[in-house]
Amino acid sequence: MLRDAILAKTEADFRAAAARIADLTIRTPLLPAPAMPDREIRLKAENLQTSGAFKIRCAANIIGQLPDAVLRGGIVTASAGNFAPALALAGAARGIRLTCHVPANAAAVKLAALERLGVAVVPHEFAEWWRIMETRDAGDPSALFLHPVCEPEGIVGNGTVALEIVEQWPEVDTIVVPFGGGGFVSGVAAAMRAAGTGARVLACELDAAAPLSAALAAGHPVPFERTATFANGAGKQSALEVMWPLLRDLIDGVVVVSEAEALAAFRSLALDSHLIVEAQSAIAYAAARSPELAGHKVAAILSGGNIDRAALIAALAE
C-alpha cells in the first residue's frame, strides 16, 4: 500500500534521495516575500530548478534507481507538462525512449519543451487523459508506465525540497504546497514528519478547481467539476484513490483561494519579487497571504515557472 510505503520512509531515505539527485538539480533559494505586518513569508523558488519545476526532483529519483534492463522497452507517462520533460532530462544520458500522453489544453510552452527533448506526444481530451491518470493504462504494455503523482520514489524525491527549506529557515512553522495530484504535498509532508520538525504542511488549490477540499469534506474522493481559470481548463477531476489514504493521514489541511487572489499573487511575484511562475505557484503564494495564516512563518513553494508567453501577458494585463 502506497500510504504504508511512504510513512515507513525515514529522514535517511530522504537524504539519500537528495544525494542521488544532486547532479541533476539545484538547491533553490528561499527568498523573502514583500513584507506583511502580520506574518513572515518566504518563497521557495522551484521555478528556478533545472527543468523549470520541482518535477526534476521526482523524475531524477525514480530514474536513478531503475536498471537499464527495465528501461529498455521505453517509458510511458501521462503528464500535463512538467513531469515528462523532467523524465527526459533525467534519462538523457541513458538514451531513454519516452512517450507522454497529455491533455489537449496543456500549455504550449510545455509541449514545445517535450518536442525539443524528443518526447513522443499523444494528446487527449481531458476526460480520456484523466482516465489514464487513474488507471495507468496508456495502451502500451511493453513500456514501463511511470505515474507523475504516485510513484513511491517520486514522492520521496519531491520531499527533498522540504529538507532544504528546514535547513534554510529552521523557524518555519507552515509550508504551503500547490495541489495537483498530491504527490508533491505528500512528499513534503512525509519528509517533514520523518525529520520531526513539527511544521504544518498545507495543500492549496483554487475554489474553481478544488478536488482535495471536496474529498476532505466528503471523507473520500468525489468528482469535482472544474471551471476554466487562468490556472487550468474545465473538466471533471477527483483526488486519486491511490493517493487518498496518504493525503488524508499526512497533510494538515488545505487552503482554498479565489482566482482573483491567485492573479493578484501572480502579479506581485512578477512585479515585486521579479519571479516568473506558472499558475500553481501563484496559488501557493496567494494561500500564504490568506487571512487564516496570519501570525505564522510561512514558506510558499513556487512549484514551477513554465508558463506560456500568452498566458503570462494575459495575467499581467488584467
Tell me the pLDDT band of 236, cut-offs 50, 70 and 90. low
- Segment 103-122 shows an average pLDDT of 87
Question: What are the chain's domains?
Answer: 2-54+152-317 (3.40.50.1100), 56-145 (3.40.50.1100)
CA distances from 38 to 97, 148, 178, 276, 297 (A): 50, 37, 22, 25, 10
User: Which percentage of the chain shows pLDDT scores above 90?
Assistant: 78
CA distances from 72 to 91, 95, 166, 182, 234 (A): 12, 9, 38, 29, 37
According to the model, what pLDDT value does residue 83 have?
93
pLDDT at 226 exceeding the cut of 90: no
CA distances from 46 to 20, 132, 150, 151, 232 (A): 18, 27, 20, 20, 20
User: Tell me: the pLDDT tens digits for 29-63?
Assistant: 999 999 999 999 999 999 999 999 999 999 999 99
According to the model, what pLDDT value does residue 312 have?
93
User: Tell me: the pLDDT tens digits for 131-170?
Assistant: 999 899 998 888 899 999 999 999 999 999 999 999 999 9
Pairwise CA distance, residues 295 & 309, whole Å:
36
pLDDT at 172 exceeding the cut of 80: yes
According to the model, what pLDDT value does residue 233 have?
64
pLDDT at 3 exceeding the cut of 90: yes
According to the model, what pLDDT value does residue 19 have?
98
Contact 205, 188 (CB under 8 A): no
pLDDT at 107 exceeding the cut of 90: no
Query: Which range (4-8, 207-211, 314-318) has the least confidence?
Result: 314-318
Q: Is 71 left (phi over 0), alpha (psi -120 to 50) or beta?
A: alpha
Pairwise CA distance, residues 281 & 112, whole Å:
21
Pairwise CA distance, residues 202 & 75, whole Å:
32
**In the Cβ-directed half-sphere of 20, how many Cα atoms lie within 13 Å?**
25
Query: pTM of the prediction?
Result: 0.94
Widest distance between CA atoms in the chain: 57
Paired strand residues for 174: 200, 298
